[in-house]
Amino acid sequence: MKHIVSFSGGKDSTAMLLMMVEQNIPIDEVVYYSMGSWEWDGMVEHIEKVKSRLPKNIKFTQLGNDEIIQKEFEKFGFPSFNIRWCTRVKVQALKKHLKQNYKKGGFVQYIGIAFDEKERAKKKWVKETDKFPLIEWEITESKALEYCYANGYDWKRFYEKSISKRMSCWCCPLQRIDELRNLFINYPEKWERLKKLEERNNCPYKFKGKKSFFRGATSVFDLEERFKKELKQPIQLKIKTWPKK
């Protein structure tokens, strides 16, 4: 039976991996999927740091690359609730890798879901061989982040500067409106890249629909106009609760 860690690179999966190594829990391979230039700046450095500190007997495999992401983007445009191709390419790549390298039923997969979100471990996609150490150890998202900080991992202070709990793609259109407002205000260079992405693909950033958080805004430029108007009047921004390094 092989032991595979499904690694996203965020605070929860990083804490899980570090704790497993600390407790000498068997690990044969760590599998990570890269979203290329869509990832936050601190992720590349973080991944290299994690790899350098892993015991040499643990194999680290990186799937995905910028070429794949750009190809999917040219074909489908920005991901949406109806077409979440970003999730699809990750899941398919992981399934293909496991199928090619391990016998069916011959491995255990460790997934970094924190205790706060233990209900996610009851979803239909969960297999009998999937394990959730953070839930078992009752490690919450805040505890996971504190543990990472204590071990020298800070993602270039992403969790301090952002209001997001997720270190997903910086250009994700499924972000909440306050997260996108934060992107516009605090990351102007990325906002400019986002506008260029929309212009290049000639596809609206956010489709209208029942689950729209954007109250009718369909493009990055619409959102920019909204944020500019909001900056002229007081805004009650979300209070951050993440621990400081």
DSSP of 118-163, one letter per residue? Answer: GGGGGSTT--TTEE-HHHHTT--HHHHHHHHHHTT--GGGHHHH--
pLDDT one-digit tens code per residue, 124-151: 788 888 999 999 999 999 999 999 999 9
Q: Give residue 210's pLDDT band: very low, low, confident or very high (50, 70, 90).
A: very low
Q: What is the CATH number for 40?
A: 3.40.50.620
pLDDT one-digit tens code per residue, 75-119: 988 988 778 899 999 999 999 999 999 988 799 999 999 999 999
Q: The pTM is what? A: 0.85
Task: Say if 203 falls within a structural domain.
Answer: no
Q: Long-range contacts of range 241-244, CB-CB < 8 Å, 24 or more positions apart? A: 241/142, 242/142, 242/145, 242/159, 242/160, 243/142, 243/145, 243/146, 243/149, 244/160
Q: Enter the tokens of residue 128.
A: 């009998």
Residue type, 15: A
Task: Say if 119 falls within a structural domain.
Answer: yes
Task: Say if 30 falls within a structural domain.
Answer: yes
Residue bearing tokens 């007081």: 234
Average pLDDT in the chain: 87
Task: Say if 58 falls within a structural domain.
Answer: yes
Measure Cα distances from 240 to 7, 141, 161, 179 in Å: 26, 14, 9, 12
Helix (H, G, I), strand (E, B) or coil at 77: coil
Return the sign of the alpha-carbon dihedral for residues 147, 244, 36, 119. positive
Q: Give residue 41's pLDDT band: very low, low, confident or very high (50, 70, 90).
A: confident
Cβ 159 vs Cβ 242: under 8 Å: yes
Cβ 122 vs Cβ 113: under 8 Å: no
Q: Classify burial at 180, counting beta carbons within 10 Å of its beta carbon; exposed 0-12, middle 13-18, buried 19 or more.
A: buried
Q: Give residue 239's pLDDT band: very low, low, confident or very high (50, 70, 90).
A: very low
Task: Say if 223 falls within a structural domain.
Answer: no
Full domain range(s) for residue 146: 2-159
Quote the number of domains for the chain.
1
Task: Say if 176 falls within a structural domain.
Answer: no
